[in-house]
Structures are given as structure tokens and as C-alpha cells.
Amino acid sequence: MPEAALELRGLTKHFGASVTVGPIDLIVRQGEFVTLLGPSGCGKTTTLNMIGGFVTPDAGGIHLAGSPVETLPPWRRDLGIVFQDYALFPHRTVAENIGFGLRMRRVGRAEIARRVYEAMQLVRLDGLGDRRPGQLSGGQRQRVALARALVIRPSLLLLDEPLSNLDLKLREEMRIEISTLQRRLGIAALFVTHDQEEALTMSDRIAVMRGGRIEQLGSAREIYEAPASAFVAGFIGSTNLIRGSVIAPRQPGGTVRVDTGAGPAMIPIVGDLPDGGAVLLMIRPERLKLASPGAAPEGTNAWSAQVVRTIYLGGRMEVRLRLRDGGTAIAYAVNEGETDWDEGEMVDAWFRPRDAWVIPGPAEDSDAQATNCLR
């Protein structure tokens, strides 16, 4: 097995007495696209800066392609970095910008010209080599920055919120373009963003960060469907989080009963759930279905609820429900032109056992607002 493109071991940085980033352990495999996702201030940019060599870690190791780099200055780390503000050299042409890293590596002039030309074709900038960054559009600047980072064939591509300065449509295009390029070149990439949609669409694996640590590391599907904490569940997508407690008995391989204020639920066992322990029951709005009272399918969990509001969203309806204990929940109903749920109507909100996910532990105070959160 080849060495990992990047390995972080216990990487830690203290800011004063109270703020700490890390310890962070993370492996980015060859050719893999890993995203650090989190709200601002979660430590993702600090982590990136430590890898880049712009912030000195207080503890821990950074290995790039198998060799330790934590004592190397930035210019010896062989990284391609794309910055949020692109950081192009305004006094140099597009071609000079892209060729900069090669020139620093003392590559011959003809070779530089050839590779710059290739890189410009790669990012679809043909013919713009003589322009200056000031004459380019935002998307073009983004491509120059990308080409400049890729042309040196770095062992790792670091992307620091590269899309946040683009407008929505361009952002969606660049998302696909960057990940297509990354796959085609087979280059390992570490991507930093606070945008969950970017993370979901681009990444092989996502590391959700919070308070300076990685809260969960997994594929987009794992993060979305099996979040490790209420924070992760609430940060990605909309979700219903309902407090409950585990009721004995439970059999191995069987199901467990969770009692909530909205009603009981039977769900498959995942991991170790302490009997009687407090848990959060997560049901994504698209998995929460509605039926007339008593009409929920056999073998599902059905809770009686009242429709508070329905919001027409074109392809789907967002239905806001009041549960038995007064809590709220959201259900997305596909707009099939058949059913309309009237406000005030009593319904059965139902979900299959496997559509619920149990997050162990009681809700932390800071998660209180994430309970039944409406994002």
C-alpha cells in the first residue's frame, strides 16, 4: 500500500489559554478528496495553515507522502495551495503566474512554456496567457489559481474556501470542474469549506470539525445518514432531532424501543446503547412520511401529529408538524399532485425503523436549539 498523501498525527495549536485547535488525526490517501467542513472558527483554516507551514504547530506531526515536514519552511513542502482570494500576482501575466512555481524549481524555460500551456488547456484558459489577473473575471482568476497550484504537480492540493468568492451559478460549475480535474489527475486534495453542499458534492470523505477537533470523519453518506453527534446531524442538511430514552429489553440483531415525547419508536440496534440512557432520535425530513390517521403502513413507526403549516416549494412540500408533546418536526412531501395537507389537519407522521438514527447521549446545552432544528 502506498504511503498516504497526508498524515496528521495529534496536530495541535494553542491560541492563548482557552482556545485550542487539535489534537487532529487525519489521513488523506493518494488520489483522495477530503474536506474539512465546519463553521467559522472551528479550526479548519488553522489546520490548513499548519499543513502549509504558515502556522507552527505546538505539538504533533505532519507527514506528506510519508516524510515529516513539520520543521520545513513553506517553500520546501511541495504543496499546491488555492486561496480564497486567489492570491494571484497582479504584476505578472497569467502565464507568468502559472509558471511561477516551475521557475522557483529551476525548470528549464522550454519545459515551463510547455507545462504552462498544458495547464492552461486543462483549466480552459487557452489564449489568455498574456492577460493580467486584473483583466480576468472571478471564475477565470479561480482557474489561474488552480492551474498555478496544479502545474507544479504537488503531492497534495490544499484548497482554502476557493469557491466562496464566486456567485452561485459559477460556484456550482467550479465545484464539478475542480473535482473532475482532481479525479482525472489523481491528485490528493484537502478542501476547506463551511458550505455543506460543497462538501457533500465534492468529497470522498468529509471531516466535520467543531471547536478545534474533528467531530466525525466519513463519507458524505455516513455523515448525512449516520451522524455521530447532534452537531453533525444539525450542521449537514435539515433534520428532526427528538429526545428520547432507550427502553429495555433489546435482543442482539433485533430492534430496540426508544420512547419519546412524540410517541414510541422501534429502531434497529446500532452500537452500544445503554438501557434507559438518554438518546436523540434523528429522522431526516425526507424520510418522515405523512398519512391520514390510522393509514400508516404496517411495521412502521407512526406518530400522531397536527399540520401547522405547509410551504409550497415546487418539487416538494415542506410540512411543519406539531408533535404530541408540543415539539415541532418537518416532513418533506414529494409534490405528486395527489395529496394536500391542510393546516390544522391531524395526520400520522410515520417512518420505517431503518429511517431513524439514534445519536447516543443527552442533548448538550449548545445543541438545545438543534433539537427539531429547522435549517
Closest CA to 226 of 297, 196, 10, 217: 217
Look up residue 88 and give its amino acid. L
Based on the number of CB atoms within 10 Å of its own CB, is 172 exposed (0-12), middle (13-18) or buried (19 or more)? middle
Helical H segments across 29-137, by residue range: 44-52, 94-104, 109-122
Among 37, 88, 188, 262, binds another protein (CB under 8 A): 88
145-153, 175-183, 282-290, 353-361 -> range binding another protein (CB under 8 A): 145-153
Pick the binder of another protein from 13, 77, 115, 287 (CB under 8 A): 77
Nearer to another protein, 151 or 323 (CB): 151
Whichever of 75 and 312 has its CB closer to another protein, that residue is 75
**Residue 198 and residue 171: Cα distance in Å, rounded?**
9
153 touching another protein, by CB under 8 A: no
Instruction: State in angstroms the smallest separation of the CB of 103 from another protein.
Output: 9
Alpha helices (H) in the chain, listed in sequence order: 44-52, 94-104, 109-122, 138-150, 168-185, 196-202, 220-225, 230-235
Give the nearer residue to another protein in terms of CB position, either 67 or 366.
Answer: 67
Instruction: Considering only residues 35 through 54, tell me which ones interact with another protein, judged by CB under 8 A.
Output: 52-54
Given the complex with another protein, which of 63 and 322 has the nearer CB atom? 63
3-state secondary structure of 126: coil
Q: Does 312 bind another protein (CB under 8 A)?
A: no
Please, which residues have CB within 8 angstroms of residue 168's CB and are 6 or more apart in sequence? Answer: none
In whole angstroms, the minimum distance from the beta carbon of 30 to another protein comes to 20
Cα 69 to the center of its chain, rounded Å: 27
- Considering only residues 89 to 108 of the shown chain, the ones binding another protein according to CB under 8 A are 89-91, 100-101, 104-105
By CB under 8 A, name the binding residues for another protein: 52-54, 73-81, 83-91, 100-101, 104-105, 133-134, 148-149, 152
